[in-house]
Structure 1
């Protein structure tokens, strides 16, 4: 359930997320590895197409799954859920009126209006929450490759002797040794993380435990080190933080 709420609206609508080596169903957690052909009912499917087949056959549809969630997750009353279900089925106002024994077509139109208002409120609230997250992330904002280049720069932005001095300060035993203290400035962090990233194997997808074991040989504050590697764009991660890989 947590993965469902961590996903984007588009990912929730499709019902699955894409990871580096697999697709994962947000509705039940089923994972399908990329690069494998899946046979089903006399047909062959790649991983993404078979994930859609899985959702259709196991969950009927993403809408059916979501509408079946408890009220505390959807905020819908049972009656509102019934109305939405019929709207999703493409029923006309008259058909909705007849099936739910609603007084008049005007009442059905009122339901449509009320649900539209709920949608607008949800959009506004979602936008506000996103803005709050962005503001909270500003002190340690993610760097794009372009910004990273500005921080590290080439020889004109940062002389080799300056870079060497930073590495000597934070790797007193050499770049294959441990980081003695966590760097404080963006420029220092970028250079140190660049060196730390060289310890990772680009052919391996690490579990959280595997990555932490490796990072523990570099610096005691594993969480901070891991966050910096992700923030500066050297390491990618799944939404649930269970897998990591060198970008």
Structure 2
């Protein structure tokens, strides 16, 4: 889950642009796709340098960083469904009267009040981020938590897991190493989440798999590959076409 680590470790500016940069490449924070520097990339008859091509990748694969973030679970964004819809309409450039008409609520002044509440939420978020940054400098006892998978479903206490707990679970259920077979399927939710997360390392980002390929890979992990496949989809790690003909790691 290297991409989850990058995503949650990114700065505010990096999250806004949707990618991080190092000496050799640009890496998309939304899916992990890397674009090497020093290469010219063709797109519809036009040549682009790496940085611009990363922006094209984000537009093509994710529409925009804003849309990607808005599609995350409400437990991650802290937004209600109502606030989510409001922000989407504001992002589309609609004025208060247009938003009021489309949502069918109150009046234009009601929408203005919603804007005020969202602005207050922004101010609170800025203060909270500053306080947490200051806390990091002093809190020597804070445990290292396992990064959340961005497309996790039903974010709840199951994700309250430390790196030490993850290491212990992997050692218990993969006694011969995480690249070997699974000893048994975890009965507890937290352990199950960690093991499923570890299993995703056997798949490649941005690759589409046929069902028989998925089954073959999962069969090397555990005898009941159908069980693993079902839970990987249920927990939001894998996605698939409606007819089950193709599977891929969920971005």
TM-score interval for Structure 1 and Structure 2 normalised by the shorter chain: 0.5 to 0.7
* Alignment match of 2:138 (pick from 135, 138, 144): 135
Q: Give the aligned partner of residue 239 of structure 2.
A: none
Structure 2 unaligned residues grouped into runs of 5+: 141-251
Instruction: Give runs of aligned pairs for residues 168-207 of structure 1, distance below 5 A.
Output: none
- Partner deviation per Cα, 1:10-31 (whole Å, 9 max, x = no partner): 0000000001200000000000
Counterparts of 1:66-77 in structure 2, within 5 Å, are 66-77=69-80
Confirm or deny that 1:6 pairs with 2:9: yes
Q: Distance in 2 between matches of 1:16 and 1:37?
A: 18
| Counterpart-to-counterpart distance in 2, 1:2 and 1:121 | 25
Residue 89 of structure 1: how far off its partner (Å)? 1.1
Structure 1 counterpart of 2:66, from 46, 63, 68: 63
Q: Secondary structure at the match of 1:76?
A: coil
Match of 1:108 among 97, 103, 111: 111
Among candidates 38, 57, 67, match of residue 54 of structure 1: 57
2:121 to 108, 118, 122: 118
Separation (CA, whole Å) in 2 of partners of 1:130 and 1:36: 37
Q: How does 1:25-44 map to 2 (within 5 A)?
A: 25-44=28-47
Q: Does 1:91 align with 2:94?
A: yes
What's the C-alpha RMSD, in Å, of the aligned pairs? Answer: 1.2
- Output the TM-score relative to the length of structure 1: 0.54
- 1:90 counterpart SS class: coil
Candidates 26, 31, 44, aligned match of 1:23: 26
Counterpart-to-counterpart distance in 1, 2:22 and 2:139: 26
Runs of 4+ displaced beyond 6 Å? none
Q: CA deviation at 1:136?
A: 4.8
Bigger Rg over Cα: 1
| Alpha-carbon offset, residue 135 of structure 1 | 3.4
Matches within 5 A, 1:225-236: none
- DSSP 3-state at the match of 1:135: coil
How big is the shift at 1:3? 1.6
